[in-house]
Amino acid sequence: MYLYSHLLDRLCYYMVYAVEASSMVEHTRQLVKQNGCEEVVTVLQGRAEEIELPEQVDVLVSEWMGNCLLFEFMVESVLLARERWLKEGGVMGPSSAALSLVPCQANSYYAEKMAFWEQLYDLDFTPLQRAFSQLFSLNTVLSHFSTTNKVTILPLALGLQLDMYTLQVKDLEEIKGQFHFRVEKSGVFHGSTAWFTVQFESLETGGATVELNTGPNSEPAHWKQTLFMLDRPVSVYAEDAISGTIRLRRNPVWRRHMTVTLHWSINSSTEETDNCQVGTKSFPMWR
């Protein structure tokens, strides 16, 4: 986490407080010294919510994001640091965040994990397929997914959005969002893929906002995307509507973990299927 003080219009003079809780702090100090930045950068070891600074700061920058945006809940430390050390009118980086969710067709992944058991070595392994399906569909999958797995569903909608200036620690206990999609062409609904974007507002008035996007159409990032698989694939048809809610609930004991619950309904546009199919499923990440 980096906190900047005495930040003027053109950054002609500033102080940086670099906060790190782990032993990595020693390497940080070495790098600061090696690059002649000791007069500008002060390295502090400790938790952001517990350190003491000589003054409040103008800018607070932190990489707190986890898989599916909130996993590990490092954002709590940032919010507590904001309340203690950010000046009124100060700048947060990121300043906002959004979690996107899109129903997806994951043919290759489903074939690899489930169809694999149907005729293994020319033997019938379907009893194991049924047993494995419960474990398979309960777990989330972190991977880079190609856009070809998502062409059946448009348009993309945001699951939930966070304002880093107004978000409170108590809000992290349970965060909800909604989604609504219209199927563009027929395909198979295997599950939903989630990823996040974060925005960094400019320090200059009228400056451009910078966005980090971890979605499938962006450069791969170590966060990847999160895949939530249904128990059974569902056929969908052009003009079907898929809508529902996503809920991120923090684990009351294992505070770094959470459970993601998806509730969805499919309103069919054809007479060949039920007019409405509904479902709910919870995914622990990781307890």
Q: What pLDDT, on a 0 to 100 scale, did the predictor assign at position 89?
A: 93
Type of residue found at 98: A
H-helix or E-strand spanning residue 131: helix 126-138
Q: What pLDDT, on a 0 to 100 scale, did the predictor assign at position 266?
A: 93
Q: What pLDDT, on a 0 to 100 scale, did the predictor assign at position 111?
A: 76
Q: What pLDDT, on a 0 to 100 scale, did the predictor assign at position 196?
A: 94
Catalytic residue among 50, 63, 174, 211: 63
Q: State yes or no: is 20 an active-site residue.
A: no
Catalytic residue among 72, 184, 201, 239: 72
Q: State yes or no: is 76 an active-site residue.
A: no
Q: What pLDDT, on a 0 to 100 scale, did the predictor assign at position 134?
A: 64
Stretches where the chain sits below pLDDT 50 are: 8-12, 148-156
C-alpha torsion sign, points 75, 1, 162, 140:
negative
CA distance 103 to 192: 4
What top-level class would CATH report for the domain 95-109+130-285? Answer: mainly beta
H-helix or E-strand spanning residue 77: helix 75-85
Q: What pLDDT, on a 0 to 100 scale, did the predictor assign at position 56?
A: 95
Domain ranges across the chain: 95-109+130-285
CA atoms within 13 A of residue 152's CA, in its CB half-sphere: 21
DSSP three-state, residue 147: helix
Could you write out the three-class secondary structure of 3-64? EEECCCCCCCCCEEEEEECCCHHHHHHHHHHHCCCCCCEEEEECCCCCCCCCCCEEEEECCC
DSSP three-state, residue 284: strand
Q: What pLDDT, on a 0 to 100 scale, did the predictor assign at position 17?
A: 95
H-helix or E-strand spanning residue 82: helix 75-85
Closest CA to 169 of 92, 77, 98: 77
Q: What pLDDT, on a 0 to 100 scale, did the predictor assign at position 271?
A: 65
Question: Exposed, middle or buried: residue 273 (CB in 10 Å: 0-12, 13-18, 19+)?
Answer: middle
CA distance 29 to 38: 9
Closest CA to 92 of 118, 60, 68, 116: 60
